[in-house]
Amino acid sequence: MKGTYVATSLAGVGAVGGASALYFYKGGDSVETLRSKFAGALIEDTETTIWDAKWDALKKGSVNGDNENLKLALSKKDGNSEQEGKDALKRGCKELYESPFKNREDKNFLDFKSYCAKNNKEKAGGSELIAKVDTDEGWGTKWTNLKSHQGDIDSELEDIKKKDTTSQEAERKKEIKAWCEKVASELFELESVRYKNFVTYCKP
């Protein structure tokens, strides 16, 4: 028999809206919400630059899940209703924050990741990567630093580090840049080794 989710307020927890919620499945088992699982990725009301970026992304995209406010927001992408669309986007995201996290293929989670949550680049301050071209000397500096890296390192970045071949330095810079671009757009989840390496090797 299919159960029901009941939201219980947890005052003073998390970002955006103050109170958080824990959902209880009928029968007493607690269920993680998107807020509790991805607390560090939630967008504050005051982070207007990020909200504007999410609005632009929504206008170019589509809604996968069943959140009515996100659907309403998308319907406002044309014409003179932009503010209504932005407001509906925020409402929809706040509703998703309190919804259960089911799995990473869940349609509402996909909407959360695309339109309601910070990626690694946004979490790290939103500035661009070192340079748009891999021949820039900034990438060369990062490659030099990576070769002598000590401590924890992301497995993909470690694979690049192991290719310490002077004759292929240009290739290594391309690989670091490609890794940075990939990680920049990933959902921020926690202060992981991957995220810390991103800040170290991808930011100016």
pLDDT at position 31 is 84
Domain limits of the chain?
5-118, 137-202
Alpha helices in the chain (DSSP H): 34-37, 48-60, 68-75, 82-97, 107-111, 120-123, 137-147, 155-161, 169-184, 193-202
Q: In what order do the strands lie in the sheet with 30-31?
A: 5-10, 20-25, 30-31
In order along its 204 residues, the chain shows pLDDT tens digits of: 344 444 444 333 333 433 333 444 444 567 899 999 999 999 999 999 999 999 999 999 999 999 999 999 999 999 889 999 999 999 999 999 999 999 999 999 999 999 999 999 999 987 777 667 666 788 889 999 999 999 999 999 999 999 877 778 889 999 999 999 999 999 999 889 999 999 999 988
pLDDT at position 133 is 66
Contacts of 175 (CB under 8 A, 6+ apart): 160, 163
- Residue 17's CB is within 10 A of a number of other CB atoms, namely 16
